[in-house]
Amino acid sequence: MPTVDFVKGHGTMNDFVLVADLDGALSLTAADVGFLADRHAGIGGDGVIRVTRTESVADAPADIDPQLWFMDYYNADGSAAEMCGNGTRVFARYLVEHGLASGPSFEIGTRAGVKRIDLVGDGYSTDLGPWRLSRADEAAKRGMDAVVQVVGAPDALPALSLDLGNPHTVVALPPSMDLGTLDLQRAPHVDPRPFDGTNVEFVRAHGPGHISMRVFERGVGETLSCGTGAAAAALATWWWSGQSPDQLQWTVDVPGGRLGVLIEGDRVSLSGPAALVADGRVSLPG
Ligand SMILES: N[C@@H](CCC[C@H](N)C(=O)O)C(=O)O
């Protein structure tokens, strides 16, 4: 049974098990990821992050420096994801606390490309890079290109699909509904369903630049926060409200805390806290 060092961390209670693989010797199977993420039989987390160099990641983008530290991210069900916004800050905290990165600003590799991380106060800001409407057809430009059925809503709700490196479908709740009335124990049904699935965000607007949201994450289920989801939710709300150049800074409240989103043209950045809370050694099942 292989034994690995792990660190447990979270960003606004989106929690991760980080596994050190500094020399690229470890191969994590989907069963290993499922075990590490299991809250009863394993360590417990929404996702698992292998800390390794880009050269050790078979499906890393070819244009990333092979020596750059790479956030090799897996959802709790074992599926690989292109990006994790909250994960980038927790990964950054790990690199700094383990002496693998330093300075107020540095870069990391992800399946969605290189991301710049800046130290901001006690937390970090991540330049998530370019965002786009997933379909960019007339329906998307008008603000709705999909419908979502979710337990707790009597009717199918219109939604907008965005690409933040990973896929998102954002739903604005009608004024008659509260976020708390949704039942996210079961997966929302998205039509049309993107081929690779999607993360689904439900949004309540509070005022200029301020929203709250709940999220059902692809490969996980409901989580207490999703960073790329917060960015998608802010972008969709900005899109629906007419894309004012005066409303580019957003506060996004999630069940696990508060995130900041800054829209900068076709780029978007995400800021928030990151905490490492435990470490240890664990034997993998396989
Ligand atoms: N929680 C993350 C997103 C993790 C990946 C997502 N479930 C997917 O499959 O795309 C975040 O903070 O962005």
At 19-29, the pLDDT tens digits run 999 999 998 99
pLDDT tens digit sequence for 230-265? 999 999 999 999 999 999 999 999 999 999 999 999
The whole-number pLDDT of residue 95 equals 98
What angle, rounded to 10 degrees, do the helices at 85-97 and 227-240 form? 140
Torsion sign (Cα): 165, 169, 77, 278: positive
| Pair 124, 139 in one domain | no
Return the bridge partners of 249, or none.
262
Beta bridge partners of 17: 8, 48
Residues 194 and 207 in one domain: yes
Task: Let me know whether 162 and 220 are in one domain.
Answer: yes
Same-domain status, 119 and 147: no
pLDDT 10s digits, 118-137 = 999 999 999 999 999 999 88
Residue of 15, 49, 83 best suited for mutating to test ligand 1, as the one with most atoms within 8 Å of CB: 83
Overall number of domains in the chain: 2
- Residue ranges making up the domain that contains 215: 132-265
Say yes or no: 114 and 146 in one domain. Answer: no
The reply to whether 46 and 86 lie within a common domain is yes
- Domain identity same for 39 and 153: no
Instruction: Give the Å distance between the CA of 9 and the centre of ligand 1.
Output: 15
Options 226, 230, 259, 284, the catalytic residue: 226
Q: What is the pLDDT of residue 161?
A: 97
Cα 228 to ligand 1 centre (Å): 7
Three-state SS for 189-255 is EEECCCCCCCEEEEEEEEECCEEEEEEEECCCEEECCCHHHHHHHHHHHHHHCCCCCCCCEEEEEEC
Does 90 share its domain with 106?
A: yes
Residue 229 alpha carbon, nearest atom of ligand 1:
13
Residue 285: the pLDDT is 87
pLDDT digits (tens, 9 = 90+) for 144-153: 999 999 999 9
Q: Looking at the structure, tell me whether residues 207 and 169 fall in a common domain.
A: yes
Mutation to probe ligand 1, out of 126, 217, 220 (largest number of atoms < 8 A from CB): 217
Percent of the chain at pLDDT exceeding 70:
100
At residue 27, the pLDDT reads 87
Residues having CB within 6 Å of any atom of ligand 1: 14, 47, 75, 81, 84-87, 166, 199, 217-220, 226-229
User: 86 CA distance to ligand 1 centroid (A)?
Assistant: 8
Residue 199 marked as a ligand binder: yes
Residue 100 annotated as catalytic = no
9 is an annotated ligand-binding site residue: no
My answer on whether 109 and 140 are in the same domain is no
pLDDT of residue 149: 98
Task: Tell me: do 246 and 170 sit in the same domain.
Answer: yes
Confidence of residue 142 (pLDDT cuts 50, 70, 90): confident
Q: What is the pLDDT of residues 80-119, one digit of tens each?
A: 999 999 999 999 999 999 999 999 999 999 999 999 999 9
**Prediction ipTM score:** 0.99
What is the overall mean pLDDT for the chain? 96
Single-letter residue type at 19: V
Q: CATH number of the domain that 232 lies in?
A: 3.10.310.10
> Could you report the per-residue pLDDT of 193-225, keeping only the tens digit for each?
999 999 999 999 999 999 999 999 999 999 999
Whether residue 75 is predicted with pLDDT greater than 80 in this model: the reply is yes
